[in-house]
């Protein structure tokens, strides 16, 4: 059989894959040499995808409680309980919590059902935990959520700055592309990260800044550029709105010495970075979870964008701020309004937006204001305000901060539906109804990667058992709730066409309307659709998506570092391992991936460990006000003193210890609602 062109199940790099079924459930995996994201390369996770498509642990039939049910019975029950809850308590008493693992078509149908027919915006996604601060930052600066960069910019940059990103592990193919650019044209690399990670090994400079001091660092860079006469005044005058008093405020406390003290980095190293940036017009600044997963995430995003706008390093080849997303379809979810704070097609909740989208959908009851964001949604559930929830393709009982509280909320919720590929997940244990969803290799639709490239994800294997695609499950519930015509889809291509039409419906200012060219695509052309990028080269013409066409500089102040708490004197940072993904429901199936890190480690600087009597390789208790868990200790000089690092992946299902999800506090950024996973007061003690 010929190889099928599809895309990887994991990160937002969005690599193309050639998948060849070789009999039974076996699939041979190769990188797709024609895909623009990876040109044939794959990292370890993508390479071993074929080891994860077996049926071990799969949910293969609808389940009501612990009893197998047929689809009609399960769907009827879900529709009835949602209908009854809405009738009794109103539309805001129900919620969907969805995922960047969904395909764009799945996301579209879920969003339409909640926002256009149920009449609430209580649909949020686990992408809230990943990149919603980037969304809020883009909207503040550009007037639309547009990533103004392409992977091609990495090939054309002379300097790449990685901020808050262990790219070598978390976006390996992007890292390989950076390494290729270094080899080909000597591109300089600066890494800004509190930890000395594998990504720093090839860097020209690593700045191990104090966690949460990124605004000071970027404000200092901007002040340096201004002092050196390197602000692009002509670009600012024509294309950027600068708030009154912006420069006066910036020059206060942003001399080199003050910034070095705030960021706790050597002044000479800071000076080196500032001079390198100032001297290099072709600079791309990539940022990821170290920036986004902070209670100041949106300000940190805008601090980076400010520097690029003020120096004209945007809209030109090799010059851009570049948010790299964690999940395979975080971007597709953003396009169709999978976040509680957006509507659809990059529109907000303005009166005109609500009216336009409502008219397009022939909506029965439109949501008119933003809904509950992830952390607030589960808090509302714990308080009894959410009485029915449908969780799709995600595991919030592990992945949300203060996961113990999330479990209590799920246990108290009168009706919990979980659609998943896995039978026994930490969240599924709270479900009244479990619905078997199609997994990677069985689904058919589209995804959008970090640089706005839309690719088809195609089915390679038949649907196992009674598993069904998410879009089918959602539309069947919608039809049973009474909306048969609006949810009459028979195939993903119909949903794609509707989504593409909506992007251009009375939406003339938006870059996303590029998709309208695909609105008339036939079924066969959709099946054969090659990867394409929407938005072209954003802002190359200097026009932004604001009413006056100008971008905005945002006045930002570095908030003071929190004093250490007596009982929780250290700071916990969290992140990924190279060969695992989220809560390991898929990567945990691959023995070869498991070899990289067999158990979760807490990394601690040897000096801290010595002071606390914590031996390398022994067990230690890591505790925060939210919870505690045991980890094996790894001494690491890559850690700053006073800081710990633990991985996010392990759950109840794999381990009694290593439960990072129990530890972070449920505090969020005020603009984006993204939780601040990276800085939790913590203590550690030997056991």
Kindly list the residues in this chain that would bind ligand SF4 in the complex (CB under 6 A): 8, 10-11, 13-15, 38, 42-43, 45-46, 171-173
Give the residue with the Cβ less far from ligand SF4, 120 or 292: 292
Distance separating alpha carbons of residues 356 and 361, to the nearest angstrom:
9
| Among 267, 169, 168, 179, CA closest to 217 | 267
Q: Is 283 helix (H, G, I), strand (E, B) or coil?
A: strand
Give the residue with the Cβ less far from ligand SF4, 111 or 325: 325
Give the residue with the Cβ less far from ligand SF4, 171 or 188: 171
Residue 531 beta carbon to ligand SF4: minimum distance, rounded to whole angstroms: 13
Distance separating alpha carbons of residues 658 and 602, to the nearest angstrom:
8
* Pairing label, strands 388-392, 94-98: parallel
Distance separating alpha carbons of residues 629 and 649, to the nearest angstrom:
13
Residue 337 beta carbon to ligand SF4: minimum distance, rounded to whole angstroms: 24
| Residue 277 and residue 223 in contact, taking contact as beta carbons nearer than 8 Å | no
Residue 176 beta carbon to ligand SF4: minimum distance, rounded to whole angstroms: 8
Contacts of 291 (CB under 8 A, 6+ apart): 133, 134, 163, 164, 214, 297, 300, 301, 304
- Print the SS3 string covering 197-239: CHHHHHCCEEECCCCCCHHHHHHHHHHHHHHCCCCCHHHHHHH
The angle that helices 104-112 and 470-480 make with each other, rounded to 10 degrees, is 20
Residue 322 beta carbon to ligand SF4: minimum distance, rounded to whole angstroms: 15
Give the residue with the Cβ less far from ligand SF4, 187 or 449: 449
Backbone phi and psi for residue 633, each to the nearest 5 degrees, phi listed first? -90, 135
Give the residue with the Cβ less far from ligand SF4, 16 or 538: 16
Give the residue with the Cβ less far from ligand SF4, 4 or 222: 4
Which residue's Cβ lies closest to ligand SF4? 46
DSSP line for 424-469 = S-TTGGG-SEEEEB--TTT--EEEE-TTSEEEEE---SPPPTT-B-
Distance separating alpha carbons of residues 376 and 393, to the nearest angstrom:
19
Distance separating alpha carbons of residues 18 and 624, to the nearest angstrom:
45
Q: Which two tokens stand for residue 598?
A: 């067999």
Give the residue with the Cβ less far from ligand SF4, 103 or 121: 103
Distance separating alpha carbons of residues 75 and 465, to the nearest angstrom:
17
Residue 163 beta carbon to ligand SF4: minimum distance, rounded to whole angstroms: 19
Residue 324 beta carbon to ligand SF4: minimum distance, rounded to whole angstroms: 10
Give the residue with the Cβ less far from ligand SF4, 189 or 572: 189
Give the residue with the Cβ less far from ligand SF4, 223 or 324: 324
DSSP line for 620-668 = EEEE-SS-EEEEEEEE-TTSPTTEEEEES---TTT-SS--GGGSS---B
Residue 192 beta carbon to ligand SF4: minimum distance, rounded to whole angstroms: 21
Give the residue with the Cβ less far from ligand SF4, 13 or 343: 13
Residue 206 beta carbon to ligand SF4: minimum distance, rounded to whole angstroms: 22
For 337-425, strand residue ranges (E) read 388-392, 415-420
Residue 154 beta carbon to ligand SF4: minimum distance, rounded to whole angstroms: 14
Residue 477 beta carbon to ligand SF4: minimum distance, rounded to whole angstroms: 31
Give the residue with the Cβ less far from ligand SF4, 38 or 446: 38
Residue 592 beta carbon to ligand SF4: minimum distance, rounded to whole angstroms: 14
């Amino acid at each position: 059989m010929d190889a099928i062109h599809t895309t990887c199940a994991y990160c937002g790099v969005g690599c193309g894959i050639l998948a060849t079924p070789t009999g039974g459930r076996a699939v041979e995996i190769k990188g797709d040499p024609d895909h623009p994201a990876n040109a044939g390369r794959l990292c370890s996770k993508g390479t071993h995808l074929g080891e994860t498509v077996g049926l071990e642990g799969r949910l293969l039939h609808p389940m009501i409680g612990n009893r197998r049910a047929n689809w009609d019975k399960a769907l009827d029950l879900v529709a009835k309980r949602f209908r009854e809850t809405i009738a009794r308590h109103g539309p805001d008493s129900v919620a969907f919590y969805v995922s960047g693992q969904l395909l764009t078509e799945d996301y579209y149908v879920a969003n339409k059902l909640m926002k256009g027919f149920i009449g609430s915006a209580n649909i949020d996604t686990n992408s809230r935990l990943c990149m919603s601060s980037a969304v809020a930052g883009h909207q503040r600066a550009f007037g639309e959520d547009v990533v103004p960069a392409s992977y091609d910019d990495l090939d054309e940059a002379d300097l790449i700055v990685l901020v808050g990103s262990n790219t070598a592990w978390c976006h390996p193919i992007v890292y390989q592309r950076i390494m290729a650019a270094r080899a080909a044209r000597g591109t300089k690399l600066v890494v800004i990260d509190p930890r000395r990670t594998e990504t720093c090994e090839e860097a020209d400079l690593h700045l191990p800044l104090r966690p949460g001091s990124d605004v000071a660092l970027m404000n200092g860079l901007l002040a340096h550029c201004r002092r050196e006469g390197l602000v692009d005044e002509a670009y600012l005058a024509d294309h950027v709105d600068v708030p009154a008093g912006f420069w006066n405020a910036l020059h206060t406390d942003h001399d080199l010495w003050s910034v070095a003290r705030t960021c706790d980095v050597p002044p000479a190293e800071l000076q080196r970075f500032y001079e390198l940036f100032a001297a290099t017009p072709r600079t791309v600044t990539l940022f990821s979870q170290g920036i986004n997963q902070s209670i100041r995430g949106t300000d940190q995003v805008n601090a980076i964008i400010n520097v690029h706008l003020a120096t004209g390093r945007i809209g030109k080849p090799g010059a851009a701020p570049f948010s790299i997303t964690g999940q395979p379809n975080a971007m597709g979810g953003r396009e169709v309004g999978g976040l509680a704070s957006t509507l659809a097609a990059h529109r907000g909740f303005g009166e005109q937006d609500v009216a336009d989208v409502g008219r397009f959908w022939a909506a029965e009851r439109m949501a008119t204001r933003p809904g509950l964001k992830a952390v607030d949604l589960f808090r509302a559930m714990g308080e009894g305000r959410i009485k029915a929830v449908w969780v799709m393709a995600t595991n919030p009982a592990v992945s949300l901060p203060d996961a113990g509280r999330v479990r209590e909320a799920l246990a108290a919720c009168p009706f919990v539906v979980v659609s998943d590929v896995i039978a026994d997940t930490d969240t599924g244990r709270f479900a009244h109804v479990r619905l078997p969803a199609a997994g990677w290799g069985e689904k058919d639709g589209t995804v959008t990667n970090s640089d706005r490239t839309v690719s088809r994800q195609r089915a390679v294997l038949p649907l196992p058992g009674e598993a069904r695609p998410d879009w089918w499950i959602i539309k069947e519930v919608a039809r049973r709730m009474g909306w048969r015509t609006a949810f009459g889809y028979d195939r993903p291509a119909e949903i794609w066409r509707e989504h593409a039409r909506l992007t251009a419906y009375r939406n003339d200012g938006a870059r996303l309307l590029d998709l309208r060219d695909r609105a008339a695509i036939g079924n066969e052309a959709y099946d054969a659709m090659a990867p394409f990028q929407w938005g072209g080269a954003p802002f190359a013409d200097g026009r932004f998506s604001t009413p006056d066409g100008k971008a905005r500089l945002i006045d930002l102040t570095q908030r003071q570092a929190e004093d250490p708490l007596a009982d929780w004197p250290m700071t916990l940072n969290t992140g990924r391992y190279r060969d695992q993904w989220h809560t390991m429901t898929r990567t945990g199936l691959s023995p070869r991936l498991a070899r990289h890190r067999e158990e979760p480690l807490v990394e601690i600087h040897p000096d801290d460990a010595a002071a606390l009597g914590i031996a390398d390789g022994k067990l230690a208790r890591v505790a925060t006000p939210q919870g505690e868990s045991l980890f094996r200790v790894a001494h690491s000089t890559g850690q700053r003193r006073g800081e710990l690092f633990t991985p996010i992946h392990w759950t109840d299902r794999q381990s009694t210890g290593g439960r990072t999800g129990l530890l972070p506090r449920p505090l969020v950024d005020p603009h984006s609602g993204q939780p601040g996973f990276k800085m939790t007061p913590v203590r550690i003690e030997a056991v």
